[in-house]
């Protein structure tokens, strides 16, 4: 049975951080920034596990859950990921990097070609967003890195066929506070009934 407190939290769009503290989801969305500088402080395995747990609560087509996560802490592996990611050196600064992969085969079993080429990417993107927002709620910085040589990343991570690296997420205590970036006005992006 769900407690009254839990119902209140879900109805007001709150993320539970600790027993007494919550963060508004919209506040997290507006406050999160792409962080490209990290302090030299570790991120505990418990926190990383909570980030993965949050990712696993993302929606997915047919509840197939086609995501896989590679947790990278080894400095040499991070150095190789930097090279695969067009020399984005800040990746190496982060104490931990989560590489989120899409299991194309898993999605294809349920949805054929569309599952393999689209649904697994949509589903994985939802999981990635959950990682970013949850990390922010813990006071951690992240960056969504999609600019990398996929074949190189596959070799580095030794992913089997059908497992596609979609994003690298360096995670750590932020060593910068970027200002918010402009967003397109709602009036430019809403189309009622038809485009």
- In-domain check, residue 5: no
Query: Residue 65 and residue 178: Cα distance in Å, rounded?
Result: 33
Instruction: Domain count for the chain, please give it.
Output: 1
Q: What integer pLDDT is reported at residue 1 of this predicted model?
A: 38
Q: What integer pLDDT is reported at residue 14 of this predicted model?
A: 42
- Angle 57-121-159 (CA atoms, 0-180°, nearest 5)? 95
- In-domain check, residue 108: yes
The percent helix, strand, coil of the chain (3-state, each to 5) is 45, 20, 35
**Domain assignment of residue 78, given as a range:** 35-178
With the C-alpha atoms ordered 14, 25, 37, 86, is the resulting torsion angle positive or negative?
positive
User: How do 163-172 and 141-142 pair as beta strands?
Assistant: antiparallel
Three-state SS at 13: coil
Contacts of 38 (CB under 8 A, 6+ apart): 90, 93, 94, 95, 141, 170, 172, 173, 174, 175
**Mind giving me the DSSP string for 155-189?**
HHHTPPTTEEEEEEEEEE-BS--PPPPP---HHHH
Residuewise pLDDT in 10s, the chain (195 residues)? 334 343 333 333 344 444 446 678 999 999 999 999 999 999 999 999 999 999 999 999 999 999 999 999 999 999 999 999 999 999 999 999 999 999 999 999 999 999 999 999 999 999 999 999 999 999 999 999 999 999 999 999 999 999 999 999 999 999 999 999 999 999 999 999 999
Phi, psi of 27 (to 5 degrees): -60, -40
Q: Which residue has tokens 């109805």?
A: 11
Q: What are the contacts of 113-119 at 24+ separation with CB within 8 A?
A: 115/61, 115/64, 115/66, 119/60, 119/61, 119/64, 119/66
- In-domain check, residue 187: no
- In-domain check, residue 21: no
- In-domain check, residue 186: no
Q: State the CATH number of the domain containing residue 154.
A: 3.40.109.10
Strands (E) located in 29-72: 67-72
Query: Residue 110 and residue 81: Cα distance in Å, rounded?
Result: 32
- In-domain check, residue 20: no
- In-domain check, residue 163: yes
Q: What integer pLDDT is reported at residue 23 of this predicted model?
A: 79
């Amino acid at each position: 049975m769900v407690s009254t407190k839990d119902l209140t939290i879900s109805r007001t769009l709150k993320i539970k951080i600790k027993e007494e503290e919550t963060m508004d989801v919209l506040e997290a969305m507006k406050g999160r920034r792409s962080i490209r500088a990290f302090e030299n402080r570790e991120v505990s395995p418990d926190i990383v596990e909570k980030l993965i747990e949050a990712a696993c609560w993302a929606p997915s087509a047919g509840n197939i859950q086609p995501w896989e996560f590679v947790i990278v802490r080894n400095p040499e592996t991070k150095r190789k990921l930097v090279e695969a990611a067009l020399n984005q050196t800040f990746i190496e600064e982060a104490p931990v990097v989560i590489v989120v992969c899409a299991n194309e085969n898993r999605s294809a079993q349920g949805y054929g070609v569309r599952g393999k080429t689209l649904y697994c990417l949509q589903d994985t993107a939802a999981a990635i967003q959950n990682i970013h927002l949850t990390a922010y709620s813990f006071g951690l910085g992240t960056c969504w890195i999609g600019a990398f040589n996929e074949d190189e990343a596959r070799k580095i991570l030794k992913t089997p066929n059908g497992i596609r690296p979609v994003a690298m997420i360096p995670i750590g205590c932020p060593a910068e506070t970027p200002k918010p970036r402009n967003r397109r006005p709602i009036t430019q992006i809403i189309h009622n009934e038809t485009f």
